[in-house]
Structure 1
Amino acid sequence: MVTIKDIAKLANVSHTTVSRALNDSPLIKPGTKKKILEIASQLNYTPNFNAKSLVMQKSHTIGLFFTSISNGTSPSFFADTVTGVNSIINENYNLFVRGIDDYKDFSTIHHKRFDGIILMSQREVDNAFIYHVLNQKIPIVVINREVDDQSIINILSNDREGSCQAVKYLVKKGHRDIAIIEGIKGFKSTLERREGYLQALIQQKIPIRNEYIVQGNYDMQSGYRAMEKLLSLKNPPTAVFCSNDDMAVGALNAAFAKGLNVPKDISVIGFDDIQIAQYTNPSLTTVKKPIEKISRLGAEKILEIVENTEQKGEKIFVETELIKRKTVASRK
């Protein structure tokens, strides 16, 4: 295996000079740097990150943590998050993916194991994890949920506004009996989307009916069960806003199982715009929450902090967008 000392010998320079050249140090003359890089390329030199880690006190590991992977994180949400982060984290870093709820305590999460952490946060109980990470002096970027700490980089979408627009769209189409299938209790996204739903009804002067507010679990099965419950009501709704697309897919299937036509008999709107949404039959009208974009931004920000060792708190909002497809019809 080729080492820095081998390159130093051939270039007739010290191994410190080689190390600086390979790390693109401005202290090395361009000519010397070019010569060293050419020799390194000819010898197919690859850095020994373990040795480098010991010298620089770096782990070359970026952590991507979820509130939970097994409870409330749909496969599509998980995939979009990992895809977004992975597209930015280059091959110089290992990507470590885990759920916070996998840990009894956070003693194994320290600065020697992680250069930086991206947290896909879904609940306020994640704050204990956030402050542990800050105490360990590990750079952190929190995505998806708004946090109060002004020193943290926080990237999120306006879920409340997105769901409000979706319900207003249903009202515009003539619907007044509009139900909501909610997400997991305690998740910030569940609360924000519920608030948007209620806000739209209040603004449009439509009475709020408790039987139209049904609990789901962010998975297809819970969407199916919730839609069954709504369809069994004496006065079932004419439209249903689902707090994510997975539940909307379940809801569509429950409607079909009852022999109903979507959107002729009942209209359905989802939230997230996962990949499958455009391929359901009929294709799903939904609110686009750009999870992949939010995750990419989070990865870009954590690399900036890790490589420049500077962290300035900021809040970045990524806009949601109503994607009109085929699951909503006008009500006469």
Structure 2
Amino acid sequence: MEGSNGMKRATIKTIAKMANVSHTTVSRALNNSEHVTEKTRKKILDIAMEQGYVPNVAARGLVSRRTYLIGIFFSDLNVGTSPSFLIEVINQVKRILPDDYSFAIDSISHYQGGVAGMEERFDGVIIVSQSYHDDDFIDQVVAKNLPVVVLNRPIERRDIYNVTTDDHLGVEMAMSYALRMGHRQFGMIKGEASFVSSDARQRTFESILKEHQLTLNPDWIKAGNYLLNSGYEAMKQILMLPSIPTCVFISNDDMAIGAVRACLDFGLHVPADISIIGYDDVEYAKYLEPRLTTVSKPTSAIVQAGVTALVDMMDGEAQPSENQTLAPKLMIRDSVKKIPLNEN
């Protein structure tokens, strides 16, 4: 950005680099926050004056208009949003958001009547989108000229900062590993039907079976809703069948935990009798017995990128010009058994 004299205008990031502090500290100093020492404040203000820093008067980040409250909206907190995912998002937001700010959490489903007054309540909005049904809400929030980021689900718009991950790659890694371990008979427990991630993971699972000319047994495909109990019930349905798969891919770790419990209740051991692969890599996945092989979704990195971008926008910085798709990782642990091909 340039000033009227053609010189590049100093930004909060410029000042932060020169002062060797974070952009959050610069923002606090410029807003007279009590969380900055007088020595640091003076150093930052001196640099700002020397560099001719001019706040973006069009930004909502003007001190006189700030509420220091961020809105965090999930598609639906009652349906499909697993407790593990919710907790991880909240913890990351708390860790990264400047101390001055608080945040409120709600479901997009509660705003069917519109978003009137949202611009007076929030300085910025984080939308953790899981469904295409969220698009109307996203459009309404953007129309309020609020700083906004959309996380978790890829969206078609390119005027909103969007951070997500590659679910197709995650499932490919999980299934490729299971195939290398000798498995050829696969079951699946799907996630919440209305969520984009559930659809993407199921389609990739089915395409890999087709690619390897493996039979897709519809009796081995059961529906869950990303919650622990649904994984338990879905696995019970699979285990009561006349024949069962050697490996079950489960669309998230919470359901996988329920599935492991169902196996134990049926007198089966994981992975000796049946193998299980999860998705997400929640914190307790590595402490289970057996430790869960799963796909690590980079939720922490997604939230960090989103919150950092939102804080910058609230401080008058330009919106990031490129959206991000972060790669998942396969976490190989103990829940998948290696079997000889002649056992299939």
Match of 1:216 among 217, 224, 234: 224
Greater C-alpha radius of gyration: 1
CA distance in 2, matches of 1:294, 1:192: 18
Question: Residues 109 and 253 (structure 1 numbering): CA distance in 2 closer, same or farther, change over 3 Å?
Answer: farther
CA distance in 2, matches of 1:220, 1:285: 17
1:17 is matched with which residue? none
For residue 335 of structure 2, what is the amino acid of its counterpart? T
For residue 218 of structure 1, give the secondary structure of its aligned residue in structure 2. coil
Task: Note the C-alpha offset of 1:82.
Answer: 0.8
Question: Does 2:180 align with 1:169?
Answer: no
Task: Note the C-alpha offset of 1:21.
Answer: 11
1:3 is matched with which residue? none
So what's the TM-score if we normalise by structure 1? 0.83
Question: Does 2:165 align with 1:157?
Answer: yes
Task: Note the C-alpha offset of 1:327.
Answer: 0.5
CA distance in 1, matches of 2:234, 2:63: 56
1:86 is matched with which residue? 94
1:240 is matched with which residue? 248
Question: Residues 311 and 165 (structure 1 numbering): CA distance in 2 closer, same or farther, change over 3 Å?
Answer: same
2:147 is matched with which residue? 139
So what's the TM-score if we normalise by structure 2? 0.80
CA distance in 2, matches of 1:173, 1:325: 13
Task: Note the C-alpha offset of 1:53.
Answer: 8.9
For residue 145 of structure 2, what is the amino acid of its counterpart? K
CA distance in 2, matches of 1:159, 1:152: 21
2:30 is matched with which residue? 23
**298-307 vs 196-205, which deviates more?**
196-205
2:196 is matched with which residue? 188
CA distance in 2, matches of 1:184, 1:148: 21
For residue 30 of structure 2, what is the amino acid of its counterpart? N
1:316 is matched with which residue? 324
Asked whether the 8 Å contact 1:212–1:230 carries over to 2, the reply is yes
Question: Does 2:75 align with 1:67?
Answer: yes
Match of 2:301 among 283, 293, 305: 293
Match of 1:259 among 225, 246, 267: 267
Asked whether the 8 Å contact 1:165–1:200 carries over to 2, the reply is no
Task: Note the C-alpha offset of 1:55.
Answer: 6.2
Task: Note the C-alpha offset of 1:24.
Answer: 7.2
Question: Residues 160 and 34 (structure 1 numbering): CA distance in 2 closer, same or farther, change over 3 Å?
Answer: closer
CA distance in 2, matches of 1:166, 1:54: 47
For residue 232 of structure 2, what is the amino acid of its counterpart? Y
Task: Note the C-alpha offset of 1:80.
Answer: 0.4
Asked whether the 8 Å contact 2:309–2:320 carries over to 1, the reply is no
Task: Note the C-alpha offset of 1:323.
Answer: 0.4
For residue 122 of structure 2, what is the amino acid of its counterpart? F
Asked whether the 8 Å contact 1:218–1:243 carries over to 2, the reply is yes
For residue 155 of structure 1, give the secondary structure of its aligned residue in structure 2. strand
Task: Note the C-alpha offset of 1:311.
Answer: 2.1
Task: Note the C-alpha offset of 1:57.
Answer: 2.1
Question: Residues 108 and 254 (structure 1 numbering): CA distance in 2 closer, same or farther, change over 3 Å?
Answer: same
Match of 1:148 among 141, 156, 166: 156
For residue 311 of structure 1, give the secondary structure of its aligned residue in structure 2. coil
2:292 is matched with which residue? 284
For residue 141 of structure 2, what is the amino acid of its counterpart? V
Asked whether the 8 Å contact 1:262–1:268 carries over to 2, the reply is yes
Q: Deviations over 1:251-302 (max 9, x none)?
A: 0011111111110110000000001111111111000002122111110110
Moved over 3 A (4+): 52-55
For residue 205 of structure 1, what is the amino acid of its counterpart? Q
2:19 is matched with which residue? none
Q: Deviations over 1:224-252 (max 9, x none)?
A: 11111111222211110000000000100
Asked whether the 8 Å contact 1:53–1:59 carries over to 2, the reply is no
For residue 324 of structure 1, what is the amino acid of its counterpart? I
Question: Residues 54 and 226 (structure 1 numbering): CA distance in 2 closer, same or farther, change over 3 Å?
Answer: same
Identity %: 35
For residue 88 of structure 1, what is the amino acid of its counterpart? I
2:310 is matched with which residue? 302
Asked whether the 8 Å contact 1:245–1:274 carries over to 2, the reply is yes
Q: Deviations over 1:71-93 (max 9, x none)?
A: 11111100000111111111222
Question: Residues 218 and 24 (structure 1 numbering): CA distance in 2 closer, same or farther, change over 3 Å?
Answer: closer
Question: Does 2:126 align with 1:118?
Answer: yes
CA distance in 1, matches of 2:130, 2:193: 11
Which ranges of structure 1 fall in alignment gaps of 5 or more residues? 1-19, 26-30, 38-51
1:230 is matched with which residue? 238
